[in-house]
Amino acid sequence: MGLASIGTASEGMQLCIFDLRRGQHEGQELDKILFFFPADLPFSTQLSVIGLSEGLITFTRIFSPEAACEVIEAERHSHVFYEAEPDIWMVMVVEKSKELEAIWRIDALREVLKEIHSLFMMFHGSIRALLDKEPSGELTRAHLYPFIMDYLRDFLVGKKLQLPSFRDCLKERRTVQMLTVGREAAIEVQTLVRVLELCAGNTPCSSLILFQDLLVSTTLSPEDTINLFTYAVLRLTPHALSSGASSWSYLRKGNSSSHVATVSTLAPSGSVSEQFYGSRDTSPAGDNRYRITRPLQHDKWFKGKDGFLSTDIWGMDAGSLNVTTPTVWLRQTEERMYLCAYQYRSLTLILLIPFSSILNGEQGVSIVKQQLLENVGSYTCYISYLPSAFPFINQFI
């Protein structure tokens, strides 16, 4: 099973997000485009791709009103569809693979689209909410462009995007890899979870505990667990902090053992570095009116001397030299939460504190962190050296 190589961006991968409720009148067609990669393709080409996708969606809804098309196989290309939100569609167009497992790759590409949207919602909320907040769509585009480009950088190898197979997705994406522990270890973990919950006093908190890239414990819903676990593996675990390499193991190990689609990122104009590393932090128009956070940037998280992970992605706290504590949105409760990550050796503890429960902002978060250090610091040291509870862990610490 070799690689499926593609020569140019116009023949290679195209990724777009559009809103069927927008741009329905003549002269307003561009309004429906919320994201398009490559961004420097002519608008006529972008509208052609989106127009074809819209037509396919409309046609298939005649026969399946509740579930429109998921994939359309043309002679040379596959069109992969995902309705991220009502009437907001994500479409990926890739050159058709000649591999025997092509259908499995299509499923993998749908998982990529789902992951992009789930991670985006965790940090920015729903796309529809952003459009309602600012109907022109500029705010939405300003968030989508840097976010997705930062995400795609994980697939970048030289001048190629190497997309995963379904096998890779099953092992590493939209699933959670658990650390299997015995009864004694499980009791210790539950004790640690209760210690974490006490850090914020009477405020109900949620937590996620990882050992290396494996999940040990979670108090979140399944969907929120998947999203936060995915982000932790992408940017927070010791491996992610130390290597700066792609979170996909098939890219770290090379693609000889994986069924990978290789897609050129070369655009009709501009270079790879301009597309992925350029100064455009908002939208293709270069509009800097909005304060945009880019949580998927590489090499932006650091471990402090106190064991807490910090980043300046969310900016600096007004009136101090401290960085602003990251926040995420939970899908189940639709609640905004502070994200506090503490790391001891191979253990990563993530504590989520309701944003509304901290009345004095960063000062209140600092108090919770200090409480966590007092309650958890010595405990993590203890369980990390407890052979009877964590015999597997002690092979690595």
Going from the first residue of the chain to its last (397 residues), give the mean pLDDT of each consecutive group of 10, the final group possibly shorter.
35 87 87 94 93 91 82 85 95 76 74 94 96 95 96 83 71 74 78 77 85 90 94 91 64 48 45 43 53 90 90 74 86 92 89 87 84 69 45 44
Count CB neighbours of 66 within 10 A.
5
C-alpha pair distances (Å), 77 with each of 50, 68, 112: 15, 19, 18
Euclidean distance between CA atoms 124 and 363, whole angstroms: 24
> Hey, what long-range contacts does 272-278 have (CB within 8 A, 24 or more apart)?
272/156, 272/159, 275/38, 275/39, 275/40, 275/149, 276/149, 276/152, 276/153, 276/156
Task: Please state whether beta strands 71-73 and 77-85 pair in parallel, antiparallel, or not at all (unpaired).
Answer: antiparallel
- Residue 203: left if φ>0, alpha if ψ -120 to 50, beta else—which one? beta
Q: State residue 134's pLDDT score.
A: 94
Euclidean distance between CA atoms 110 and 83, whole angstroms: 10
Q: State residue 97's pLDDT score.
A: 63
- Which residue ranges make up each domain of the chain? 13-170, 183-244+296-389
C-alpha pair distances (Å), 36 with each of 70, 123, 218, 353, 380: 19, 20, 36, 35, 45
Q: State residue 102's pLDDT score.
A: 61
Q: State residue 280's pLDDT score.
A: 38
CA atoms within 13 A on the CB side of 194: 6
Amino acid sitting at position 272 = V
Euclidean distance between CA atoms 241 and 300, whole angstroms: 9
Correct CATH for 183-244+296-389 of 3.30.450, 3.40.50, 3.40.720, 1.25.40? 3.30.450
Would you identify the CATH topology of the domain 13-170? Beta-Lactamase (3.30.450)
- Residue 353, beta-bridge partner list: 338
Count CB neighbours of 100 within 10 A.
9
pTM confidence score? 0.83
SS3 state of residue 294: coil
| Topology agreement, domain 13-170 and domain 183-244+296-389 | yes
**315: which 2 tokens?**
């900016």
Beta-strand runs (E) in the chain: 14-19, 33-37, 71-73, 77-85, 88-95, 156-157, 160-163, 206-211, 214-218, 261-264, 301-303, 309-311, 327-329, 336-344, 347-354
**51: which 2 tokens?**
């127009």
Q: State residue 125's pLDDT score.
A: 95
Q: State residue 6's pLDDT score.
A: 35
Euclidean distance between CA atoms 345 and 49, whole angstroms: 48
Question: Which helix (H) or strand (E) segment is 271 a member of?
Answer: none
Q: Which residue has the tokens 């270079």?
A: 271
What angle do the packed helices 183-197 and 361-384 form, to 10 degrees?
Answer: 160
Euclidean distance between CA atoms 40 and 315, whole angstroms: 29
Q: State residue 268's pLDDT score.
A: 40
Closest CA to 298 of 149, 163, 161, 159: 149
